[in-house]
Amino acid sequence: MYFQSFYLTCLSHASYLIASDGEAAVIDPQRDVAIYIDEARRHGFAIRHIIETHLHADFVSGHRELAGITGATIHIGRRADATFPHHPVDEGDEIQFGDCVLRFLETPGHTPEGVSVLISDLAKSPHLYAVLTGDTLFVGDVGRPDLSAEYTPQELAGMLFDSLHGKLLTLPDDVEVYPAHGAGSLCGRNMGPERSSTIGKERKLNYALQPRSRDEFIDLLTHELPERPGYFAQDVELNRAGAESLGLLPPLRALQPAKVRAMQESGVMVLDTRPADQFAAGHVPGSIQIGLSGQYASWAAILLGLQQEIILVAEDNECEEESRMRLSRVGIERVTGYLQGGIAAWIGAGLSLQKFSEIRAEGLLAKIIEGGDSTQILDVRRPSEWEAGHVAAAIFGTLSHLDSQLDKLDRERPVAVYCKSGYRSTIAASLLQRAGFSNVINMVGGFDAWQSAGLPVKIPS
C-alpha cells in the first residue's frame, strides 16, 4: 500500500493519497488538485475515490474538480446533504482496492456529518494500520464544536465526546492518527506541531481526552471558544455544492497605475502582499497589506470577506499568481488584476506613496518614557495573548475586530502597534492608515522581541 500526505502550510491543512494495485483515493483535497494528479501519474495510479471527512469551513475543497478530471466517486457523510454527485457514507461502509481497505466511522461533533476513515493494509497485517480523523481528533486537540447552524455548541460537543470515547478511543494504542489540520488551524485551539500521532499518545497527552465526565467535556470545549470567522459558513456552502474548476476563473489583468487608482476610487480594494519592510517604505495610499509569508488567505477572508473586489500589488509575477491561488483556496475569487510593474510603476507614473515608521522594542520603550502619554500603543493580538502579558501602556484591539476599536484611539496622535511577531501588526498599521491615522508606527518583531529584550510586561491580576 502506498500512503502519501500533503501539507499546505498556509492553511495548516493536511490531505492524503492512498493507493494499492494501481488504484488510489484522495482524502480531503485542497482546491488546486494538480498535486494529486501529478503524484498519481508519477506512480501509475488511477484516482478512483475522493473522500471528504466533512464539509470544511476554513478552505474550499477541490473535490468536484478532481472528480471531473479523473471520473472518481466522491464519498461524504450522508448528513452533509451534499448537492454534487456523490456516494453518501454510512457507518461501516467500506472501500477496498488491492491490499487497502478503508472503513468509515461516523464521528460527528466538529460537524454533524463528520466521518473518520480506518485504514488496513492487508499486505502487512489484517489489523488496523491508521485512522484519518478529519477534524474530529487532532494532535493535541479536538475539533471546535461551533460550526453548525442546526446544533448548539453544547449539542455538538456532546456528539464529539461520544465519537471520541465510543469509537476512536476504543482503537488500539498503536493505530496511527492522521488529522486534516495541524498547528495554526482555525478549526481548533491547542494543536501540536506534529503532523501525526497515535491513539495511545493522544490518550495520554491530549488535554481534551483526559478522564472527565461528558458534562465536564462539554463545559471544557464550549468555554471561551475562539471567535468563529464570518467566512466559515460561506465556505461550508461552497463545499456542499462543490466549487467550480479553477480553470474557469478569468486570467489576471495587468492594470496600469492610473487604472488602479480609478478602480480604487470606485471601491475596489488594493491588496499588497509584499513583505512588511517593503510595504512600510512605500505603498499605494489606502491599500491593505497582508503578507504572503503568513496566514495570508485566512486573514484576507476574515478582514475583506469573500465578495470584495481586489487588485493585487506583489513583488513579481510569480507572487501575483501565488497570491491569487491562495485567495481562491478560501473562496475569494473576485481578483480583478494586478498593478503592472508594481510599486516602481506607481512611482514612475508620478503618483504619491504612503509610508509608516518602524521601531524596535527598545525604541518604543524610550518613546514611552520620553513622550509621556503622547504615543498611543495598540496591541492587536488575540484576547488569550493579551491576558498572558502585554505592554503596560497598551490599548487592546484585536486585529479581527480592529474597525470597532478605533474610537479608543486619537487620530491626531501617534499610534504604535504590535502583535506577537510583527505579521499582524503590519496588517493593522495598513488598516489604521486607511482609516485616517496619519502617524502610524509598527513595532518590528512584536511582543516576542519586547520580551526577548527583557522589557517590562504587565500581567492582568
The whole-angstrom separation of Cα 149 and Cα 51 is 23
CB hemisphere CA count around 136 (13 angstroms): 33
Is-catalytic flag, 419? yes
The whole-angstrom separation of Cα 308 and Cα 267 is 9
The whole-angstrom separation of Cα 9 and Cα 115 is 23
Residues 27/62, Cβ–Cβ less than 8 Å = no
- Output the CA–CA distances (angstroms, integers) from residue 403 to 220, 329, 355, 409, in the order listed: 31, 25, 20, 11
Instruction: Return the residue matching grid coordinates 499582524.
Output: 424
The whole-angstrom separation of Cα 17 and Cα 48 is 11
The whole-angstrom separation of Cα 278 and Cα 295 is 18
Cβ neighbours of residue 26 closer than 8 Å, sequence gap 6 or more: 15, 16, 17, 33, 36, 47, 49, 50, 51, 66, 72
The secondary structure of residue 390, as a DSSP letter, is B
The secondary structure of residue 422, as a DSSP letter, is S
Angle (deg, nearest 10), helices 214-222 and 153-166: 130
The whole-angstrom separation of Cα 191 and Cα 138 is 6
Residues 375/365, Cβ–Cβ less than 8 Å = no
The whole-angstrom separation of Cα 451 and Cα 389 is 10
User: What is the Cα gyration radius of the chain?
Assistant: 24
Q: In a 3-state reduction of DSSP, which class is residue 340?
A: coil
List, by residue number, the catalytic residues: 419
